[in-house]
Copies of this chain bind each other. A is one copy, B any other.
Amino acid sequence: MPQTKKSTLVLVAERAGVSIASVSRVMNGLPASPQVVERVRQAADELGYVPDATARSLKAGKTDQIALAVADVGNPVYVGMMHEISRVVTKAGYRLVISSTGSDPQDQIDLLTGLNRGFADGLILSPLRVTDELGAQLRASRLPIVIIGSLPAGVELDNVRADSVRGIALAVDHLIEQGRQRIAFINGPVDTVPGAARLNGYLRALTEQGRPQNADAQVNASDFTYRAGLKAAAALLDQTTPDAIVCANDLLAVAAMKVISKRGLRIPDDIAIVGMDDTDIADLAQPAITSVDLRSIKRARVAAKLLLRRLENPQAPVEQVVIEPKLVVRASSVKECAEAEL
């Protein structure tokens, strides 16, 4: 186990008594005479030689790296997505570079200019907020980019998103089936991509069911976190008395449940709860939370595959995939279910 400093093609070549070209060939499995192969192998072993990734990248014009940028780390949804993307791209021989942009759009722009420095071969981006400038940057970028979530106007890129309008409809319809009358909504910030989509979905679902849109029944948390959810839920319950609440994600749902319990109300008897994303905590919560599964893992997998496809074939036509959500019913929204809970 030689604690050598570093070794290069040249060193190996000298030791093996061959040219650097031969060493390169052997290392890449290209045809060479058995003797040369043997001598190079041995020399490389003795020197602990491993080809340098940077030099190879410069030569090949590719880095074997894929960048992933999500706005909201900390949200369990993105964790699962990251994991899945990592799995897929790793299997394809890529490394995953995490670019944790904050919610600040400027971060994403910095990222895109950075990308053009060529530290990665492609990007998967899930923007929380979309500005015109981001759109412009996206359009101008030279590298393959896949967007998770809705696209900025006028941008033609590979894209995968959940049909969250339909997702909310699933939740609302389910609650109405359960006989709920006053269905409130705890959303995140409406100036975000998911926040806007979910508000839209909520309003449309009510309309389709012939229900009135009651402004008192809606509150927006300042972000998609548990802490913000506590405040929002308290505000909601101060101004109205719903018998069901749709929450824009599971964290907000857990927060709502906490506040409801604290006020001595029972779930689902007094208030039914439906969350979104179907993260682990929906299952862990007590009672378990009915949640709209927006198929985050699948979206992640599709995004990764779209990017890999474009990396293979830059000329491929733009593909835009919409993933259908499904409702996972648990105890928080069904009276019978709460007692019979597994």
Q: Return chain B residues, CB-CB under 8 Å to A50.
A: 113, 116-117
Q: Given A53-B118, A79-B79, are A226 and B3 also a contact pair (CB < 8 Å)?
A: no
CB A303 to nearest CB in B, in angstroms, measures 16
Q: A100-114 interface mask toward B, CB cutoff 8 Å, 1 = contact, 0 = none?
A: 100000000000010
CB A234 to nearest CB in B, in angstroms, measures 12
Q: Quick check: B100 and A90 within 8 Å, CB to CB?
A: yes
**Residue A298 at the B interface, CB < 8 A?**
no
Q: A106-131 interface mask toward B, CB cutoff 8 Å, 1 = contact, 0 = none?
A: 00000001001111000000000000
**Residue A179 at the B interface, CB < 8 A?**
no
Which of B6, B76, B139 is within 8 Å of A1, CB to CB?
B139
CB A273 to nearest CB in B, in angstroms, measures 12
Q: Given A54-B63, A142-B5, A226-B284, are A119 and B100 also a contact pair (CB < 8 Å)?
A: no
Q: Given A95-B97, A98-B86, are A286 and B286 also a contact pair (CB < 8 Å)?
A: yes
Quick one: which of A244-269 are within 8 Å of B by CB?
251, 254-255, 257-258, 261-262
Q: Quick check: A54 and B52 within 8 Å, CB to CB?
A: no
Which of B54, B98, B281 is within 8 Å of A98, CB to CB?
B98
Quick one: which of A40-75 are within 8 Å of B by CB?
48, 50-55, 57-58, 63, 65, 73-74
What would 26 A/B residue contacts be, using CB atoms closer than 8 Å? A1-B136, A1-B139, A1-B140, A4-B142, A6-B142, A50-B117, A51-B117, A52-B117, A57-B57, A58-B58, A65-B119, A73-B83, A83-B100, A90-B100, A95-B119, A96-B97, A96-B98, A96-B100, A97-B98, A98-B98, A226-B280, A226-B283, A258-B286, A262-B341, A281-B284, A284-B285
Minimum-distance CB pairs A-B, first 4: A53-B117, A53-B119, A1-B140, A54-B57
